[in-house]
Amino acid sequence: MIPYGRQWIDDADIQAVVDTLRSDWLTQGPAVGKLEAAFAELCRVPHAVAVNSATSALHIACLAIGAGPGDVVWTVPNTFVASANCARLCGADVDFVDIDPKTYNISVPALAQKLRDAKAAGRLPKAVIPVHFSGRAPDQEAIWSLAKDYGFRVIEDASHSVGATYDGEPVGSCRWSDIAVFSFHPVKIVTTAEGGLATTRDPALAERMARLRTHGITKDEALLTNKNEGGWYYEQIELGLNYRLTDLQAALGLSQLRRLEEFLHRRRELVARYDRLLAEMPVTRPLVDLIDESAWHLYVIRIDPKRAGKTRRQVYDAMRAAGIGVQVHYIPVHLQPYYRALGFKPGHCPEAERYAEEALSLPLYPALTDGEQDAVVAALKQSLS
């Protein structure tokens, strides 16, 4: 089976983990600090906080901005469930903004309209979580400008976007957001097995996220409630979690980062190749106008049965039977049973719902060979015939 995505681990990656196993640190230690420094440099941002998943990073990001009961946080339906769950885990309500029919990212006109309505109803969001779908940045400048007008926070879910740029700035620079979150899951751009990281320009948000990662515990003299009793003394000053990344994982991440440019280059090469090879097929290809800006986590085509003569289900089944691990990104989050039980119904985000009925992710990862890609294209052609 050719999967839709997978990691690429080389001997240097393995050696980095083995070396760490022989070191003094297994859990969060010097390698985590090095990974954070490397990421801060990559993103040209002062602060990076590494954690054990992007889900954890989104959770502590929401906690750090103070989202809680009585607040509402908005995200898009075309994402992994974690982009919405993070707010629910803080006790906040969630609502969904529809997507743009071309980029599949948050629709800025839909966001602007929803903000006008929310203002009239007296229920503006505490935060908006735009997602960098497939590795392409949303319209960050426009979103940030709305954030200033309406007074909400912006947490970018940049899980797909390690190494991407927007308007010449590295994604994660937080020029147009409060916090940006990345994922190091094996199908993403670089991996630590499980892992995630949050970047921010705000030292207070960085400090709070670092504290929430470790149980809400501090040794910072300025924050202690009582007298410091000695070197062993610490205080838990708020409710936190154990969301630490291990040094084994951070060493893997550091090793992977050395090949980031190579990974991105190969992903872009494969995307350009798909774009040529699929040009004559009756499917909608993704936008490639910003091919060098996107990190290209996913290559999603759309199968409109009226044009293709086949349903997405038929193509999915045929390709799976041919050993091609196509996938669907994403089932609209608001239509998951958990969110339906909160009152969300079909029709809430029509564009995302239409998209989700047609979307199919083709295999895309740096170790995919031209020959394997040709096999994917041949299977697609066959399944459409």
Ligand X SMILES: *Cc1c(COP(=O)(O)O)cnc(C)c1O
Catalytic residue IDs? 188
- In whole angstroms, the minimum distance from the beta carbon of 92 to ligand X comes to 17
The neighbouring-strand residues paired with 165 are: 170
Decide: is 39 part of the binding site for ligand X (CB under 6 A). no
> How far are the Cα atoms of 55, 366, 380, 384 from residue 278, in angstroms, in the given order?
34, 19, 9, 12
Q: Which is nearer to ligand X, 54 or 301 (CB)?
A: 54
Q: Which is nearer to ligand X, 160 or 266 (CB)?
A: 160
- In whole angstroms, the minimum distance from the beta carbon of 234 to ligand X comes to 28
Decide: is 159 part of the binding site for ligand X (CB under 6 A). yes
Residues 6 or more apart whose Cβ sits within 8 Å of residue 170 = 42, 43, 44, 163, 164
Q: Which is nearer to ligand X, 97 or 377 (CB)?
A: 97
For residues 276 and 250, the answer to whether their CB atoms sit within 8 Å is: no
Which region among 53-61, 283-291, 299-307, 310-318 touches ligand X (by CB under 6 A)? 53-61
* Interface mask toward ligand X for 54-83; x: CB under 6 A: xx-----------------------xx-xx
Residues 6 or more apart whose Cβ sits within 8 Å of residue 113 = none
- In whole angstroms, the minimum distance from the beta carbon of 179 to ligand X comes to 13
Which region among 50-58, 144-152, 302-310, 346-354 touches ligand X (by CB under 6 A)? 50-58
Which region among 22-30, 157-165, 219-227, 335-343 touches ligand X (by CB under 6 A)? 157-165
DSSP assignments along 207-248, one per residue: HHHHHHHBTTEE--GGG-SS---STT--EE-S---B-PPPHH
133 closest CA partner among 170, 80, 73: 80
Which region among 32-40, 99-107, 152-160, 374-382 touches ligand X (by CB under 6 A)? 152-160
* Interface mask toward ligand X for 105-144; x: CB under 6 A: --------------------------x-------------
For residues 2 and 325, the answer to whether their CB atoms sit within 8 Å is: yes
Token pair belonging to 140: 């960050």
For residues 329 and 300, the answer to whether their CB atoms sit within 8 Å is: yes
Token pair belonging to 137: 């940045």
- Whether residue 316 has a cis bond before it, omega within 30° of 0: no
Q: DSSP letter for 309, please.
A: S
Q: Which is nearer to ligand X, 20 or 75 (CB)?
A: 75
Decide: is 160 part of the binding site for ligand X (CB under 6 A). yes
For residues 79 and 157, the answer to whether their CB atoms sit within 8 Å is: yes
Which region among 52-60, 203-211, 249-257, 367-375 touches ligand X (by CB under 6 A)? 52-60
Decide: is 47 part of the binding site for ligand X (CB under 6 A). no
Backbone Cα Rg of the chain: 21
The neighbouring-strand residues paired with 284 are: 302
Which region among 47-55, 88-96, 101-109, 277-285 touches ligand X (by CB under 6 A)? 47-55
Q: What totals of helices (H) and strands (E) does the chain contain, helices first?
A: 14, 13
Please list every residue from 175 through 194 that binds ligand X, using CB under 6 A: 183, 185
Decide: is 36 part of the binding site for ligand X (CB under 6 A). no
Decide: is 155 part of the binding site for ligand X (CB under 6 A). no
111 closest CA partner among 126, 137, 130: 130
Decide: is 348 part of the binding site for ligand X (CB under 6 A). no
Among 20, 53, 218, 249, binds ligand X (CB under 6 A): 53
Q: Which is nearer to ligand X, 83 or 103 (CB)?
A: 83
Residues 6 or more apart whose Cβ sits within 8 Å of residue 94 = 72, 73, 74, 75, 84, 87, 88, 339, 342
What is the spatial distance between Cα 21 and Cα 246, in angstroms, rounded to a whole number? 11
Q: Which is nearer to ligand X, 59 or 310 (CB)?
A: 59
Q: Which is nearer to ligand X, 55 or 383 (CB)?
A: 55
108 closest CA partner among 154, 70, 72: 154
Decide: is 359 part of the binding site for ligand X (CB under 6 A). no
Contact positions vs ligand X (CB under 6 A): 53-55, 79-80, 82-83, 131, 157, 159-160, 183, 185, 196
